Structure 1
Amino acid sequence: MQLRSLRPYAGGVRSRVREAESVLVEQYGDLVRLAHLVLPASLGRHQRVLVAHSLVQRALRRAGTVRTEPGVPSPRGESRGGGGGDTVERRLLVEVLRATLTYGRRPRMWPAGWVHPGALRPRLPLVWGLRLFPRSGGVDELALAQRLSAAPAAARAAFLLRTVHGLSVDSVRDLLESADVPDVPAALRIAGVLEENSRRSPAALLASQEFDACALQAGPTDLLRRTRRARLVLGAAAIGLVTVVTLAAAGDGTAHRADTQAPAARTVPGPADLVRTAAGVWDNTSRVDFTAWPARGSRNHDQSLLDRALSAWTHPRSRTHLHLTPATTATPPATAPQLLYAGNIDDRAVVLLYDGERLARYGEARSGARDAELSVARADDADVTTAAAVTLTPPGGKARYLLAPWVAESQTRDLLHPDVLARPLHTAKDGVTDPVPTVPASGKCDSRPVLQLRSSQRIAEHHAFLLAPLGDLSPVHLTFTPLPGHGTPPARQPREATGPQALLAWAHQACSLGSLRDSGVRAVNNWDFAEQDLPDGGGHAVWTCARADTWRGSGDVTVSFRTSGYAPGAPARTVARAHATAACSRFGQHVVAVSGWRSPNGHWFALAAGSRAVTRLSVTGDVTITKQARTLAVPAPHDPRVTVRARLSTGEGLDAVGTPGT
């Protein structure tokens, strides 16, 4: 939308209002889109559309009654400035922004739960018996809608003014300041991040039907509720025409308050709104994740089942058991989610949905909507491996999985037996596997089954990887980083844990996977960061840092070491742990650890080891020694208590994993 430099009118208020009306009609679609996307997503699609139209229309009178002043001509090349004068277009933008940002904002000291006075001002268009909302867009539009809903309203406004309206940063800053935005620099900064994170052109995405609040589709409201209301109205008609009109007005106000306080009750997306991806998209896109999954399953057109699944997520009831993985919200999706699967799995009906950030699995007994359960888990930034399989069955001894369409081969193997070949896993045409044993939460560690999948050569040649079922919706991706000097690339990037060396290392770490059940873990990488020859006939030792990364970003690490005397599958010895740390990641590429160790001959030693950048080790406690090396082993008293500090090649110091503050 280009801001033209209009001559200020010398006429009265009526002339200025007429001029403002002509400008508003010309630019109505852009202004409504701006208001619609800046309004809180919690209003719901129907309510947001009505409020957006109302706010834009009400901006007419105020923008037209303010006398405009001549503007200073914009510099050459700045054809879309907003700060070159107080024009009608600028006033309209400012009034729409001010009203939209104010709507729903609870002032300081205003009682919680009360309707904000700004919410009472708009007189909404009267819509009876219908829900109005924009048509659903594609997967990229869905992802953009999710990012926008997570951003502050002022940042959304700045983003739209920059991308859709094409204004300069200075013009956007002027408009936001005029609209009384409290922290304009923060809004501009977040808007810049939104622009950088867009996979496609933001202007092209925002011009789609997903964000067009003027091109709407209609659907019915709750028909049963409408029937009950109609009966009440007919029964009250005998009282008189005046009473009926009064009740209708009161009913409209009640409906408006209900929409404000519980919008999800009237804005639940229907089965027809669900996003469905075509079957061949995964083979023709650079974004290989859940957005490329087609809608599969024998009941993906069962309107009744899909409606119950959507209602369980958008308007949960007490009879539905809700399970959330850590750091996952139960907030209803901002737009219609994507349908991944709907079908019968054993004795249950299962629906799998994806809203661009989270997976939601709805399950109920096949005989009816009894014993319903809804599991929601984060799945943001999933990729070809972490979006390769989803658990379709509730926690138990065995599980079925829905595999991604790009999985060409599926197998199972036991991590405790690295020398045993993987066994084929039968998968149905719709991508559902046969039952697979899961990792138990506790008990004897005699088996650690995992999935071994291989991607189609059309997206990745011979790309095999391991996924461990740990109770969450998405199995955990297992990777491996070998010892320095054993073929490790300079950047020390984790590699797939399917080779002989990786499988042998994981055999010693497999038993620790049980402690990660239901913890929202996305991937676990085993990094063999040091090796050393042990004294007193102890053989060869390897030090490992196992990092478990969660979907929420934080990670926990466990440092252990194993010797050549350990049998395959014997658990490595844990020497240190740390929670919510960057250690052993690309943001914490250096590590050092220390431990007491008893040799096969019964003698005690203090062992210490550091990663490749360590040049000196200083051990204190029951043993005090400093050595210019990456590893050391010194005699020590029984079960020594020691600490270690390392010096890196950069001259910096490094404390051991598990030291307070690390």
Structure 2
Amino acid sequence: MPGPLEQRLSPNPYRNLVLLALVTLSGHRNSPGLLEDAHRLVTGALPRGRRHPRPHEYARVRRRVLRRSLFPRSWHPRGQAGMRVSPVDGTGGEVRALEALEGLDSPARAAYALMRMESLDAQAATALLASVGVREAATAVERAREVPATLRLPDPTVVRVSGRGSLMHRRGLVAAAGVLVLAVAALGLTGAGTSGGTGVTTFTAPPPRLAGAVAPDSWRESFRLDLTAWHPRGEAVGDDALVRRSLAAWTEQEGHVPGRAPSGPALLFAGEVADRDVVLLHDGPRVARYTREGGEELVEVFAEPGNGVANWPALRLADTDAGTHYLLPPWVSEADTAPLGQAGADWSEVGHEDGVTEALPTGEHCGVGPVLRLRAPEVAHGEPYTAIDLGGLDTAHLGYMPPPPAEIRRLGPHEVLAPEQGFDLWGELACAGAPPEGPVRTATAWEFAVQELPGGGEGRWACVRFGAHDGGGLARAVLVAQTDDGTETIVAGEREGGWDCSNLNRQVAAGTWWQDADGRWHYLAAASREVDTITAVGGVEGSGEDGSGFLAVSGPRSDSPPVEEVVLTALDAHGDEMTVLSP
């Protein structure tokens, strides 16, 4: 959980975030293009449409930048194709400026940046690195402290911008970076019949007409309760000029790319939210959000959200200093919210009018939240369901599956309504690594085992599955260790894609090192309910053949866990290998 030091806002937040990304990324490779990657990484980590993080958002954005820089395989740049950002002293200048960090890996470089630029002390830097998945955070900090503090770091906002791109994107890039020196080369405008910066003629499709609006009660007769059943809402639905401008802005932004221009989108919302004009348009499989505040316009395009059998997401309308306003599905008439990270589920009613909620605090617990309890009394069984804001356009369905001896719920996970339904557990799991990049449709905590800890306490093993809109996802095994000294979360491993930790594959195992209060390390492992044997070789030797599915092997007393690789295997009652989630 972010501490007080993590909440302090840097004097120049964008510059510091880009420098944090640049320094950390340089530990992976020393090839040209690092500066551009750092800018794109930070731009993608910022709240949608924001050029700088607000004070209450800074800790969340910094965690996101740190994790993506440390594990670059898990993020994809978000930006305008054709734009190039490079140092003013030529390609590769950013690499030359960081030569003094030669020999340091990415975690150590990140530690140096946190202590040097963010003024975190060694303890705070260690805690922050550990919270985003660095296994030897203390070692990284120690190595970083050996670097002289006199190292002169480059200013990543002194850049050269070149290439072709939309005028809106170039303005946003320059304004976000706070550019001090800007050399502009070959900046061409895209538009109908105009010539681009490289001499290539591009054409923009004309703005489309809106599809016919559905009636307010049409969802009562529709078998598909998705966005096609949402009727237009908002006090500006009849403002033709605003709606036409949103259509034109979307077309101007993407109409020059074949197949990207909107064609007959449906209007979902048009109105004023938090002193800005907001328009939501649906053109399956995409949703566009148009925002106009003052003289600035912004168009953001997202994948359309998925829908469950009896759970439907809320859509993000606007982010403000006070929080986020959401648009509820038309058939949802009851909404409540509860903060993660507190004992018990303290639900409070959410005010909403015509589907638009009041501003709700977001990202206050390890960068995620709030949790919503929504209810559609007239649909299906009318029971409440839970959703969580993970930073995307739409909320993700939040679920929980209890450990043995509880029966497996064939209809799917429980809603996270109370502590016995995983609410308190989710408060811990939310701080065990960031959610994956891209839209997340479901977030389910599958608690597959509960283990007694050496010396006292309880270890709850959970597999957190983030389900993506396209059917993919990420499964992450987490040990939540609860002792008299407090609670600690350790990411034991994760795996992208596949069926792990779902009804299609419940056979999983995981292991990790855990340190007791006396400073001794123990290798702990557990497997799900159908396990027969579990074995560890390599860094430790141990086997459990009693069908309990647990393993606890004592190791040395030291500051850091043993480094020798441990190979874990588990077999079920049929002799088949179970999926092992490893680092």
Q: How many pairs align?
A: 377
Question: Is contact 1:414-1:447 (8 Å) kept?
Answer: no
Aligned equivalent of 2:205: 265
RMSD between superposed Cα atoms in Å: 3.0
State how 1:142-221 maps to structure 2 within 5 Å.
Answer: none
SS of alignment partner, residue 507 of structure 2: coil
Aligned equivalent of 2:299: 374
Match for 1:633 among 530, 535, 552?
A: 552
User: Is the helix fraction higher in 1 or 2?
Assistant: 1
State how 1:441-460 maps to structure 2 within 5 Å.
Answer: 445=365, 449-460=369-380
- Taking a change above 3 Å as real, the CA distance of residues 523 and 395 of structure 1, as seen in their structure-2 partners, is farther
Residue 285 of structure 2 corresponds to residue 361 of structure 1: no
- Taking a change above 3 Å as real, the CA distance of residues 462 and 354 of structure 1, as seen in their structure-2 partners, is same
Question: Is contact 1:509-1:571 (8 Å) kept?
Answer: no
Match for 2:245 among 299, 304, 308?
A: 308
SS of alignment partner, residue 425 of structure 2: helix
- Taking a change above 3 Å as real, the CA distance of residues 332 and 655 of structure 1, as seen in their structure-2 partners, is closer
- How far did residue 281 of structure 1 move? 1.6
Question: Is contact 1:452-1:464 (8 Å) kept?
Answer: no
Question: Is contact 1:353-1:361 (8 Å) kept?
Answer: yes
Residue 214 of structure 2 corresponds to residue 277 of structure 1: yes
- Taking a change above 3 Å as real, the CA distance of residues 540 and 412 of structure 1, as seen in their structure-2 partners, is same
- How far did residue 554 of structure 1 move? 2.3
Structure 1 runs, 4 residues or longer, greater than 6 Å off: none
Aligned equivalent of 2:458: 540
Aligned equivalent of 1:347: 275
Residue 499 of structure 2 corresponds to residue 579 of structure 1: no
| Structure 2 unpaired stretches of 5+ | 1-191, 194-200
Question: Is contact 2:249-2:299 (8 Å) kept?
Answer: yes
Task: Tell me the amino acid that sits aligned with residue 656 of structure 1.
Answer: V
- How far did residue 382 of structure 1 move? 2.6
Match for 1:652 among 557, 576, 579?
A: 576
Instruction: Give per-residue Cα distances to partners, 1:17-54, cap 9 Å, x unaligned.
Output: xxxxxxxxxxxxxxxxxxxxxxxxxxxxxxxxxxxxxx
Q: Distance in 1 between matches of 2:424 and 2:407?
A: 16
Aligned equivalent of 1:550: 468
Instruction: Give per-residue Cα distances to partners, 1:360-396, cap 9 Å, x unaligned.
Output: 111112x5xx311111111254346664311111476
- How far did residue 353 of structure 1 move? 0.9
SS of alignment partner, residue 403 of structure 2: coil
Question: Is contact 2:511-2:582 (8 Å) kept?
Answer: no
- How far did residue 522 of structure 1 move? 2.0
Aligned equivalent of 2:328: 403
SS of alignment partner, residue 525 of structure 2: strand
Question: Is contact 2:492-2:582 (8 Å) kept?
Answer: no
Q: Distance in 2 between matches of 1:464 and 1:543?
A: 27
User: Is the strand fraction higher in 1 or 2?
Assistant: 2
State how 1:439-478 maps to structure 2 within 5 Å.
Answer: 439=363, 445=365, 449-478=369-398
- Taking a change above 3 Å as real, the CA distance of residues 450 and 331 of structure 1, as seen in their structure-2 partners, is farther
- How far did residue 647 of structure 1 move? 1.0
Question: Is contact 1:289-1:384 (8 Å) kept?
Answer: no
Q: Distance in 1 between matches of 2:515 and 2:231?
A: 56
Question: Is contact 2:250-2:262 (8 Å) kept?
Answer: no
| Structure 1 unpaired stretches of 5+ | 1-253, 256-260, 323-328
Question: Is contact 1:593-1:610 (8 Å) kept?
Answer: yes
Q: Distance in 1 between matches of 2:327 and 2:271?
A: 11
Match for 2:444 among 522, 525, 540?
A: 525
Match for 1:414 among 339, 344, 359?
A: 339
Aligned equivalent of 1:434: 358
- Taking a change above 3 Å as real, the CA distance of residues 479 and 553 of structure 1, as seen in their structure-2 partners, is same
- Taking a change above 3 Å as real, the CA distance of residues 269 and 506 of structure 1, as seen in their structure-2 partners, is same
Question: Is contact 2:533-2:571 (8 Å) kept?
Answer: yes
Bigger radius of gyration: 1
Aligned equivalent of 2:97: none
Aligned equivalent of 2:431: 511
Question: Is contact 2:335-2:372 (8 Å) kept?
Answer: yes
SS of alignment partner, residue 364 of structure 1: strand
Aligned equivalent of 1:232: none
Aligned equivalent of 2:532: 615
SS of alignment partner, residue 288 of structure 2: strand
Question: Is contact 1:387-1:474 (8 Å) kept?
Answer: no
Task: Tell me the amino acid that sits aligned with residue 379 of structure 2.
Answer: I
Question: Is contact 2:246-2:290 (8 Å) kept?
Answer: yes
Instruction: Give per-residue Cα distances to partners, 1:233-263, cap 9 Å, x unaligned.
Output: xxxxxxxxxxxxxxxxxxxxx99xxxxx977
State how 1:97-136 maps to structure 2 within 5 Å.
Answer: none
Instruction: Give per-residue Cα distances to partners, 1:407-459, cap 9 Å, x unaligned.
Output: 1211111011142521111101x11111111116xxxx578542423322210
SS of alignment partner, residue 636 of structure 1: strand
- Taking a change above 3 Å as real, the CA distance of residues 586 and 567 of structure 1, as seen in their structure-2 partners, is farther
Q: Distance in 1 between matches of 2:263 and 2:350?
A: 36
Question: Is contact 1:400-1:433 (8 Å) kept?
Answer: yes
State how 1:235-246 maps to structure 2 within 5 Å.
Answer: none
